[in-house]
Amino acid sequence: MKKIGYIWVLLSMAFLFGGQMKPWTELIEKLSPEEKHVIVDKGTERPFSGEYVNTTQEGVYGCKVCGQPLFVSKDKFNSHCGWPSFDDAIPGAVKEQMDADGKRMEIVCANCGAHLGHVFRGEGFTPKNTRHCVNSISLQFEAKKSNSDAALQKAYFAGGCFWGVEYYLEKLKGVKEVISGFMGGTVKNPTYEQVVSGKTGHFEAVEVTYDPSAISYETLAKTFFEIHDPTQIDGQGPDIGEQYHSAVFVGNQKERDIVENLIGLLEKKGLKVATRILEKDSFYEAEAYHQDYYQRKNKNPYCHRQVKRFD
């Protein structure tokens, strides 16, 4: 059935655009199995599992396949249904068509035909009385950039369970956001279950967005070395496994030099540092329930604590 659904999407796209296969058909072929299940086979992701369910940041939501802008943040609202909800779409960007069973109105990208979700009317959630119920996995979000955002930079660290690393780094002044996710593996868009299986090669990592005019990369790296045990080889605390190894993913030579210098200082103090220095790779955001975990649970980290290691 999946193969039939995939062929149907490609043939539909060819029909819609005069028989000329568009460049984004190649992108469909590169989708992960989870993405194909929703976008091609018209499946549905689990409620409250999508990354955009609770997103409130200002910006534009586009099609995962072709990039066509579909919805704007001002039209997003919390319907408590478990999926991103919008009471309006960008004019002409979304096409409505009846489901095969004739019971629901499907919505697809008007540009490439990718499945988005369904539209419902008459529920009374907003004055527009419309709810576009969309799968997060069908979307890609582009946040609106302010003048100050243009100067923001990103840093990537892995130090055991990402909950604890996120907890401490997001407390630093100058840090704008910390996202838990995965880096360094071979599988595109891995799930948490795939990563903990140890078969994807990913580390549990965090993406730190920071203002370099308020906090330096060196301060971030120093804090990283002080909030976990950089000498533990097989994991971090009670979390044992390849995905919990200590690592810093550097994006340039300056970052590498800073990390190597800090490791040198720790080794002069007698620490046998196991932290790996790796090249920055694709970062994949973890599921929504992993984000701000300790803050939402009102708990403290169980395997991370801050220890002063630098003068």
pLDDT tens digits, residue range 103-125? Answer: 899 999 999 999 999 999 999 99
Q: Which residue has the higher pLDDT, 74 or 100?
A: 74
Catalytic residue among 66, 81, 161, 303: 161
pLDDT digits (tens, 9 = 90+) for 252-308: 999 999 999 999 999 999 999 999 999 999 999 988 888 888 888 788 887 788 889
Distance CA 87, CA 30 (A): 31
Distance CA 106, CA 89 (A): 14
| pLDDT exceeds cutoff 60 at 13 | no
Q: Percent of the chain having pLDDT more than 90?
A: 65
The separation between the first and the last C-alpha atoms of the chain, rounded to the nearest angstrom, is: 62
Structural domain ending residue among the three candidates 126, 143, 160 = 143
**Is the residue at 310 inside a domain?**
no
Structural domain ending residue among the three candidates 108, 143, 178 = 143
Would you place residue 91 in the very low, low, confident or very high pLDDT band (cuts 50, 70, 90)? very high
CA angle 287, 84, 88 (to 5 degrees): 155
Would you mind telling me the total number of residues written for the chain in this entry? 311
* DSSP bridge partners of 61: 71, 141
| Average of per-residue pLDDT values in the chain | 87
Domain span at 255 = 149-297
CA distances in angstroms from 219 to 35, 180, 270, listed in the order given: 38, 20, 21
112 carries an active-site annotation = no
Distance CA 27, CA 33 (A): 13
Same domain, 129 and 37: yes
* DSSP bridge partners of 204: 182
Catalytic residue among 66, 109, 112, 133: 133
CATH number, position 195? 3.30.1060.10
Same domain, 156 and 121: no
CA angle 95, 104, 24 (to 5 degrees): 35
pLDDT digits (tens, 9 = 90+) for 191-204: 999 998 888 999 99
CATH number, position 133? 2.170.150.20
161 carries an active-site annotation = yes
**Is the residue at 311 inside a domain?**
no
**Is the residue at 15 inside a domain?**
yes
Question: Running DSSP on this structure, what letter comes out for residue 115?
Answer: E
**Is the residue at 88 inside a domain?**
yes
Kindly tell me the sign of the dihedral angle through the C-alpha atoms of 36, 42, 48, 50: positive
What are the two backbone dihedrals, phi and then psi, of residue 2, each rounded to the nearest 5 degrees?
-65, -40
Structural domain ending residue among the three candidates 143, 166, 186 = 143
Would you place residue 11 in the very low, low, confident or very high pLDDT band (cuts 50, 70, 90)? very low
**Is the residue at 243 inside a domain?**
yes
